[in-house]
Chain A
Amino acid sequence: MTELISVNTFWTIWLFVHLILAVGLLGALTHQAMAVALPARQPAGGIVTRFRAVPAAGYATAVCVLWILTYIVGSYIYTKYRIAIRIPLEAGHYYKTGGFFDFKEHVATLGLVLLPAYWYFWKNAQDPSYDNARKGVTLVLAAMCWFLFIVGHVLNNTRGFGS
């Protein structure tokens, strides 16, 4: 592979793939979280109402697939991060940045294990006995996703693309 593209380009492409998957996941989960937290009473209206009025149940499988794919690609990039990013971060005394990355990896796994129940609750969205659990787990996953995205973004600014 290194004969075709440089090592930097190779990892930058994977970082882009991770980013694109994460953006899709963030969008889908934010739509769902808004739909359960602030349900729209009318299907049409302003942009905010329409953002909340999506058919949220249809996102469940896509969210699970995107979380798993983002997780797998992130896990692959992590091998490069451990050598090429974290060691220089430590050498530069960027301990908070390194600590937040480790925090991010733990949160990603905590989110991963929620997916089976999350998927089940959404696939049975017609059953009101799951309403509270579905709302809770969706909001937790959305909050986790925003945290993962922001930490990843800040870390990329510290030592990401092109470094």
Chain B
Amino acid sequence: MSTTTRTTSGAAPSTSSLAASRKFKAFATTFSISGPVIYCVIQYLNWPLVTFWPATDRLVWGYEGARSGEGPNMLWYGWTLTTILIAAALGVVAMLLPRRVTSKIPLSLVWIFPILAIPYVIYSLMPWWTLAASH
């Protein structure tokens, strides 16, 4: 008899209806599996939902490039929002799929994709590393 899991996970049957919901499982796993992939693609394509200008406190829809006298723009908020919207939409689609389809989604992708995303993220920051190497 093993007590290992009980001792460390404190596992008890879930009393939350959300945690017991098969549809939420489909949403949550699809959202988390697709999220890192979508974030990398959105960043590569530069599709921010909004652009924020911190010097002037101005928020605009979509991408807005450098403007004279407005300081730097910030795209990270926009990339994150675009990612959340698309991942949530895919999650909703997954909720509508039959269980025999969603049960085939490999759950290990939830932790494999964010690890695979890291090399791309490092590569996407190449301008910083190039500048660092030349100074």
Answer whether residue B62 sits at the interface, using C-beta atoms and an 8 A cutoff. no
Whether A35 pairs with B9 at a CB distance below 8 angstroms is yes
Residues of A within 8 A of B43 (CB): 106
Chain A positions 9-59 with a Cβ under 8 Å from a chain B Cβ: 35-36, 39-43, 52-58
Q: A-B contact count, CB below 8 Å?
A: 167
Residues of B within 8 A of A139 (CB): 111
Chain B positions 36-87 with a Cβ under 8 Å from a chain A Cβ: 36, 39, 43, 52, 54-55, 71-72, 74, 76-77, 79-80, 83-84, 87
Whether A102 pairs with B128 at a CB distance below 8 angstroms is yes
- Secondary structure of the A side of the interface? helix
Which residue in A56, A136, A144 is a CB contact (below 8 Å) of B9?
A: A56
Quote the shortest CB–CB distance from B78 to chain A (angstroms). Answer: 11
- A103→B125 CA distance, assembly (Å): 7
Q: A52-B8, A105-B76, A110-B36 are in contact. Are A95 and B131 (CB under 8 A)?
A: yes
Residues of B within 8 A of A118 (CB): 32, 110
Interface residues on A, range: 35 or more
Answer whether residue B89 sits at the interface, using C-beta atoms and an 8 A cutoff. no
Chain B positions within 8 Å of A, measured between CB atoms, are 3-5, 7-14, 16, 18-20, 24-25, 27-29, 31-33, 35-36, 39, 43, 52, 54-55, 71-72, 74, 76-77, 79-80, 83-84, 87, 91, 107-108, 110-112, 114-115, 117-118, 121-122, 124-125, 128-129, 131-132, 135
A-B contact sample (15 more), CB < 8 A, given A35-B8, A125-B11: A36-B9, A40-B4, A55-B10, A57-B12, A80-B54, A82-B54, A110-B36, A110-B117, A110-B121, A114-B111, A116-B31, A126-B14, A128-B5, A137-B110, A140-B114
